[in-house]
Structure 1
């Protein structure tokens, strides 16, 4: 009976990053702040470029199990450049993405993912939410949660919720384009 329950309701992970507070945005959009409250997810995966300690402290309140990597504008020396996290049958690699050239290129990201020996690469940096499948592996990017992207352009504020199940991950892509919109993708485990 417990296995049926686990398969029906998987653990949840928030994928969030590129806040750039206060340099490019003053705060999260209020619509997202209302949705992102403590203890609704089991994990938080932050792709970096948070911006200030207050925002970092707020992210830590969302789950007792938070994972951070360093963005190109993060100054803390305590945050790693990359991180590997195992959740059930899934091995996740977390990186900001500024280290990968050309930025946001699926082929370069896939090469990095293979080097990390993971099933899923969580990366940020581009400011655009994206979910890609490459050679039985997945690359996911939450975009910029504030929409305060790279100084050249604004992006649509976004974040992701992952629901981990034994054989698949459900990805819920939250975007704020006038209203909060939610798109869904399914990533089957492929070994």
Structure 2
């Protein structure tokens, strides 16, 4: 079992002051093996904080991150599962199913993780699994008419089985939803 934190779009300190305290209480060292971030950390303190939660941190560059600090795309592998990560601002139209599918096929990944829209999504399409962890802080987005809900995802990888737990801060309460994905085995 590998537990991966999928998180992004912090926008600290430009749009939000910090990660919600209720999330900080949940994200403690020693429980999570790896962190995947869709970017827009926007400051060194957020990066340093993530490194305290887990030492294995993979970050892609968001459209508000320093140029050259992170790469635009990352691909990581956990056993039979290949994961592609991009911020999402490069995929036009933003959050569009067909555009996301084209990029996932281009990268040849089982799971494609992207952000930018600040809205959580998780779904299976054409045999691949797509995750957008939303905004960890609930930072403002010009793409939404309402204030985004602060969210992050914990992804439990066990062979061909993936279970994600979506954490949402709604009315000052943390709500958790479980979603399963099984990669099809081809012989």
TM superposition score normalised by structure 1: 0.92
1:181 aligns with 2:172: no
1:60 aligns with 2:54: no
Decide whether the 8 Å contact of 1:19 with 1:28 is kept in 2. yes
Moved over 4 A (4+): none
Cα deviation code 1:98-138 (max 9, x no counterpart): 00001001110010000001000011101011101110001
Query: Match for 1:169 among 157, 162, 169?
Result: 162
Query: Match for 1:126 among 101, 117, 135?
Result: 117
How far the C-alpha of 1:17 sits from its partner, in A, is 0.2
TM superposition score normalised by structure 2: 0.94
Cα deviation code 1:28-79 (max 9, x no counterpart): 1110011111221111000000111111111111112110000001014130
Distance 1:21 1:154 in 2: 16
Residue 44 (structure 1) aligns with: 35
| Consecutive unaligned residues in structure 1, runs of 5 or more | 1-9
Distance 1:182 1:106 in 2: 24
Length, aligned pairs only: 182
How big is the alpha-carbon RMSD for the aligned residues of Structure 1 and Structure 2?
A: 1.1
Q: Secondary structure at the match of 1:140?
A: strand
